[in-house]
Amino acid sequence: MRRHTYIFGALCATAALTLCACGTGDHTNTADSSSYTDVQNILRRLTTADGAPGALLEVRDARGRTVLKSGVADVRTRAPIADDSRFRIGSMTKMFVATVVLQLVGEQRVALDAPVEQYLPGIVGGNGNDGHDITVRQLLQHTSGLPDYLDYLSVEQVLKAPLEHHDRLELVRLALAHPPSFPPGTSYAYSNTDYLVAGLLIEKLTGLPYAEAIGQRVIAPLGLRDTSVPGDGTSIPGDHPRGYLAQGNSGLVDLSEVNPSVAGSAGGMISSAADLNEFLAALVNGDLLRPAELQEMMSTRPTGNSYHDAYGLGLQSTPLPCGGLYWGHDGGFPGFQTMGVITTDGRGATVMANLYPGESDAQDADVRTALASALCASSPAKPKL
């Protein structure tokens, strides 16, 4: 769920294990991997200096698909990371949710600048008088001012039952029991609460659980075989690395089994690098959204962070050191840090490290550096935009 997931760091404290991770390099060639030597070196750094047990990056360009790996999927068995590994994608879920909402905008079933209160009476209107004025656009762009429920979730409560179901409406109410961060539309503050409400909006407009709506509108049409919205499912299906959390002197804690309903429509999905690259390509190529809605999604405002990210509607842009921008989203869920990006000329890359939160900010920096290096070394495909 990107930030604040450190609050789950003690989920497995009673079973903390002191473990080590020794990085080993590997790659799979379906294209020429010789262009990605720098990327491979960064992945090795992720699994040595940064402390992640394993890392995987898939890059796609005009030459084909290249999978680069370092480290291991499991620190006990030393099993290697499978090319088609599935993992929890955290806040990358927001791209899927925003896509469905924007499809509904294109179908004229919801208006971006209409109040959320019009569609979900009483849900956000309880957050002071300003809550009635929050628009659908502001939810998707994190300009609603809704407080982030993860700031107020009790660690002790989660520790008592880490596999327990969390009701999204109750999580929204938890956030709304606190003052808004700012009046709607006046500033930017990343809030997972925004996307819990967006999930509720999808359900109200479609009459389907948000998971089914994503499945019918995005996953099935694109044939994303590794992608799922697990609801209360605590396990990751198929080949997958174990997910770990660094916990000081206790070493690494295995956090592979968690009920993702604690993230829900803000960050509960599972996917693979191959599927995420396929989704991103379809998204920027206009296969999922009409031109008007895609333009809205890619209309950004600065976030003010050190990476110079600019946030649109569930999609953010970041400058590339070799020129231009890449588009995508980062994600963090206990045990996994992920990020998937694409350029409008068809170069795409997704990276996964099976450690989150990491031991330092170095992991976050190296995740981004690996992606930027991969895109800068890749060969442009023929643009469809």
* Domains in the chain: ranges and CATH: 5-377 (3.40.710.10)
Can you tell me the mean pLDDT for 110-121?
96
C-alpha 1/C-alpha 109 separation (Å) is 28
Angle at 319 between CA 314 and CA 324, to 5 degrees: 105
> How are beta strands 325-333 and 336-342 bridged, if at all?
antiparallel
Residue 194 token pair: 């925004």
> Cα separation of 130 and 125, whole Å?
7
Structure tokens at 275: 């599927």
| pLDDT bucket at 1, cuts 50 / 70 / 90 | low
Query: Token digits for 186?
Result: 């006046």
Angle 93-106/273-284 helices, nearest 10 degrees? 30
Please give the average per-residue pLDDT across 149-167, as a whole number: 78
Distance, in Å, from the CA atom of 89 to the CA atom of 318, rounded to the nearest integer, reads 19
Instruction: Give residue 251's pLDDT.
Output: 81
Which residues pair with residue 252 across a beta bridge? 246
Q: At what angle do helices 362-377 and 37-46 cross, to 10 degrees?
A: 170
Q: pLDDT category, 140, cuts 50, 70, 90?
A: very high
CA gyration radius, the chain: 20
Write down the pLDDT at residue 81.
97
Question: What is the 8-class DSSP label of residue 328?
Answer: E
Beta strands in the chain (DSSP E): 25-29, 54-61, 64-71, 86-88, 244-246, 252-254, 270-272, 301-302, 310-311, 316-319, 325-333, 336-342, 348-353
Known catalytic membership, residue 91:
yes
Please tell me whether the peptide bond between 221 and the residue prior to it is cis, using omega within 30 degrees of 0: no
Q: Does the pLDDT of residue 382 top 50, yes or no?
A: yes
Q: What is the average pLDDT across 315-324?
A: 96
* Mean pLDDT (the chain, rounded): 88
Catalytic, out of 91, 272, 373, 378 = 91
